[in-house]
Structure 1
Amino acid sequence: MQKSSATQDVITIKSIQFHGKHGHAEIERVKGNQFEVDVTAKGYFKNSIKNEELHKTFDYSLAEKTAAKVIHGPSKKLIETLCYEIGEELFSKTEFVTELNVTVRKLNPPIDTPAEYAQITMTWKR
């Protein structure tokens, strides 16, 4: 691992799209809604380059699989719960990631005034 004073590398995957049955209103848990997930990982990923070792960097396909498992899993009432479950599982499986940001976005939230989305972002650090 490099010194903490070195600049960390950043890998981001944006707007992974899913349909999921989550929300506080019962109709949301029946009909569902569109969700997007963003994941940003920081770490010292240059160590992966020499032998092109995926396990020494951030595997964004793991981010997609983890988010899909949570979004397609049991209904949750809060996007905060979805974000937390994605982040906890992903951070536990990515030893070379020193900081992880996960954003969950619910498109067209069911409120009285039109809105593009509601979102939550959470951060994990080692």
Structure 2
Amino acid sequence: MNHFKQTVALKEVSCFALHGWYPEEQLIGNHFIIDLETKFTPLVIDDELSNTVNYEDLNTIILYEMKKTQKLLETVLNNIILKVIKLYPFVETINVSIRKLNPPMEGQIGHSFVKLTYNASAQ
């Protein structure tokens, strides 16, 4: 039995996008930082991994979903998770978060933050 867990992740992927609840946000846009982490049980056969996650694929998924304007950041995160699961059904856990830099609110706010977690064992 394999007791190892492998993590493949991208941290601090920076994007400019038009996400936001208010129409003005969807016109002027904002800067976002995305973190995406996957965990799974690696399977090594004859000194090669038979299942792993390609972080280039993760980057492609993030960039694709960031181009599609959404009102809710939760929708963006959910879409990212669904695409990762479809491409890599063996992934056991996915954590994805997004930070909106300088959200348009009163006061000095560094960023807003939304995180979504998928756990295959909870299904």
Q: Into which bin does the TM-score normalised by the smaller protein fall?
A: 0.7 to 0.9
Q: Residue 111 of structure 1 aligns to a residue in which SS? A: coil
Aligned partners of 1:58 and 1:80: how far apart in 2?
A: 23
Aligned partners of 1:42 and 1:115: how far apart in 2?
A: 32
Corresponding residue for residue 27 of structure 1? 24
Matched, 1:117 2:108: no
* Contact 2:4 2:42 survives alignment (8 Å): no
Instruction: Structure 1 unaligned segments of length 5 or more: list them.
Output: none
Question: Structure 1 residues 51, 8: CA separation in 2 closer, same or farther (over 3 Å shift)?
Answer: closer
Structure number having the greater strand percentage: 2
RMSD: 1.8
TM-score normalised to structure 1 length: 0.85
* Contact 2:17 2:29 survives alignment (8 Å): yes
Instruction: Structure 2 unaligned segments of length 5 or more: list them.
Output: none
* Deviation for aligned residue 1:46: 5.3
Aligned length: 120
Q: Which residue identity does 2:92 align to in structure 1?
A: T
TM-score normalised to structure 2 length: 0.87
- Cα-to-partner distance string for 1:8-41 (whole Å, 9 max, x where unaligned): 1222210111110010121110111011111111
* Deviation for aligned residue 1:95: 2.5
* Contact 2:42 2:49 survives alignment (8 Å): no
Corresponding residue for residue 63 of structure 1? 58
| Off by >3 Å, runs of 4+ in structure 1 | none
Aligned partners of 1:45 and 1:37: how far apart in 2?
A: 25
Aligned partners of 1:27 and 1:80: how far apart in 2?
A: 19
* Deviation for aligned residue 1:49: 8.3
* Contact 1:79 1:119 survives alignment (8 Å): no
